[in-house]
Amino acid sequence: MKTNHPLITFCFIFLMSFCYVNSQNFSEKVEAISSNFETVEASKAQFSQDIKVISSGYVVLTLTEVDSKGETETVNYEFSFSDVDVNTVRAITKKDVILVQLLINGKQKLIKKSEDGGDKVSYIDELYLYAKDIDNGRNIADAIKDIIPLNETIEKNKLSLTSYSDHLQWLMDNVVEVDYSKKQYVQKITNDSKLNGYAKLETIINEKSKSSNEDFEFNFAVLNPNSIDFKIRNDEFYIEVATRRNIKNIKTYENDVQNNFVNKIEFYANSIENGKDIYKVLKAIIPLAEEAFSNSKPNIGTKSQAISYLNGIMGQVTSEEKAFTQSVKDDCVTDVEVNIVTSKGNEDNTYTFNFIDINSDNIDYDSQKDILYVELHTNQKSKFIKHVENGELQNYDDEFKIYVNSIEEAMIAKEAFQNIIKECLDSVKTVEGLSETQGLQKLSEIVGIVKINEDTYEQTIELIDEEAKTIRLTQIFSNDKKSEEVIYEFGLKDINSKSVVMTTSGKNVLVEMSTKYFEKIIKTYKDGEIKSYGNKIVIEASSIENAREIVAIMADITKD
C-alpha cells in the first residue's frame, strides 16, 4: 500500500492549521471592529452599522440610515481590508458627524456597493464609517489598522497554486457563470488537453429575450501581465488583459462565425473576491505559459526541420472569405508559393529570395481582419524579393507575408524562419584571392543577356588592354520600340571596390559601381558616338544571386 511522504503530510497539516488560525483571528478582529460600532445621531439622520465575514478575508458592511421622516435606506459594501491603504485610515470630521476614512490602494474601485435590495450595484474606491465621537472614531480606525496586515497575509496565502496546470485548472473551475442586473455571462475555459499555453474562452451572453455566443481562442504566453486591470461597465465587474504590444492575435467567433482578431480579452467576475483571484491567477499563469509553450515546441533546430514545419502549417489556411495554399522550397535561395482563393477568383504569388537577405530581428506576426500572418522584411529594407503574380513579374519588394491558422503557429514560424536564416548565413562562402584574369573570365561568363518582360539587355565584358587592365563593357538595350548601345571603357584599378553594390529599380536588378573619388574617367560611347566621361557604371543582372556573384567578383578584383 502506497503511503504519503511524511514531509508532504506535515506541510499539508501545517498549511491547513495556518489557514485555520488566520481565519479564526480574522473573524475575531472583525468582531473587534464591530464591537466599536454604535448608533450615530446626526442633525437630520440616524446611522447604524453592522459588519460580517462573508468568506476568508472578505466582509460585508451594512450601513442603515434613517432620515428625519422615518424613511430607511440600507446600503451594503463588500470588500477586503487587504485592499485598504493603511496610511489613509483615520477619523475625520464632516459637518455634524465623525467619519472613519478608508481609501483603496491605487484608487482601484474594489468596493462593491449594493443599494435598493441589490437592484442597484456600483463599484467605488472609498468608504466612510460613522463614529459616535472622536474617541470612538479613533478606536474604529485602530481596529481597522490592526486587521489590515492579517488580511494581507490571508490574501497572499489564499491560493496554493504552483504549476501551469494548477493555474489553468483553477481558471477553468472559477471563470464561470456570472449574473448582473441586465446580462448573464455563462463562461467556460477549455484547452483541448493542450499544455502549450492555448486556451479557449466560450461565453454565452443572455439578455432579455436574446442570446448570443462569443468565443475567444488565445495563448496565455502572448498576454501582457502588466496590462491586467479591473474594469467596470455599469454593474459589470470584469478583468481585462491585453496582448503584448497590443498585437491583434486573439481569434474571435460570434455565434460560431469567425470574426476579426482582437488584442484584448475580458473575464467576468461574480464578486470582488472572485475578480481579485482571477487577476492574481492571470498574472501568475502568463510566465508559466511561456515556459509551457517553449517546452511543447516541435524540433525546428535545422533548416530542413524548420522548413518541414513551415510547410506543415502553411499548407492550408482559411478565413471566412479567403483560402490560402502555401509552400516554401527547402533551400537558402528559395521560392515561397502563396495561392489565394476568394469569391472573386484566384491569385498566384511566387516570392523568390535568399534567406540571408531577410532581417532576422524584423520578423513578426500580426493580423488583418480575420487572418493571422507572419511578415518578413529584408535587411535595410533592400528590395531583394522577386515577386511574380499570376505569371507576371512585379516590382522587387522588401517584404512579404505567409498566413497561419493560430497564434501558436505564428510564434513557432517566427523562430523557424530565424533558425533558417542563421543556418544560411553560416553557409555563405566568400569570394577571395581571384586574380584579375580569373575574375574577368568569370565575369564574362555571368554578365550576359537579361530579359525583363519586353525589354532585353545584351551585355559583354572583355579585357582590351592587358597591361593597363582596361575593361570594355558593352550593353545593347532593345524592345519593340527602340534599340540603344552603350559602351564603357575603364581601368580596374580606377574602380572603388567599396562602391560595388547590388540594388533594384522596379523590375530590374542592378550592380552599381563608381570610380575612386568619383573622378569622371570612364570613357563612354552611345550608339557609336563619344559622350562625356562619367564616374559610374551600371550592370544589369538576371537575378539577385547573379548580382550578388558579380558584386563579389568585382569587389575582389578591384581591391587595392
Give the separation between CA 535 and CA 499, rounded to whole angstroms.
11
Burial class (CB within 10 angstroms; exposed 0-12, middle 13-18, buried 19+) of 95: exposed
Q: What is the CA radius of gyration of the chain?
A: 37
**Helix or strand or coil: residue 33?**
helix
190 close to 172: Cβ distance less than 8 angstroms = yes
**Helix or strand or coil: residue 174?**
helix
CA dist 154 to 19, 109, 145, 204, 206, Å? 8, 20, 15, 34, 35
DSSP lists the bridge partners of residue 40 as 47
207-218: b or e for each residue (b if 16 or more CB lie within 10 Å)? eeeeeeebbbbb
Say which residues have a Cβ less than 8 Å from residue 426's Cβ, sequence separation at least 6: none
The label of the residue with cell 543556418 reads 423
pLDDT values of the chain reduced to their tens digit, one per residue, 560 residues:
344 555 544 444 444 444 556 778 999 999 999 999 999 999 999 999 999 999 989 999 999 999 999 999 999 999 999 999 999 999 999 999 999 999 999 999 999 999 998 899 999 999 999 999 999 999 999 999 999 999 999 999 989 999 999 999 999 999 999 999 999 999 999 998 888 999 999 999 999 889 999 999 999 999 999 999 999 999 999 999 999 999 999 999 999 999 999 999 999 999 999 999 999 999 999 999 999 999 999 999 999 999 999 999 999 999 989 999 999 999 999 999 999 999 999 999 999 999 999 999 999 999 999 999 999 999 999 999 999 999 999 999 999 999 999 999 999 999 999 999 999 999 998 888 889 999 999 999 999 999 999 999 999 999 999 988 999 999 999 999 999 999 999 999 999 999 999 999 999 999 999 999 999 999 999 999 999 999 999 999 999 999 999 999 999 999 98
378 close to 357: Cβ distance less than 8 angstroms = yes
Give the separation between CA 433 and CA 442, rounded to whole angstroms.
13
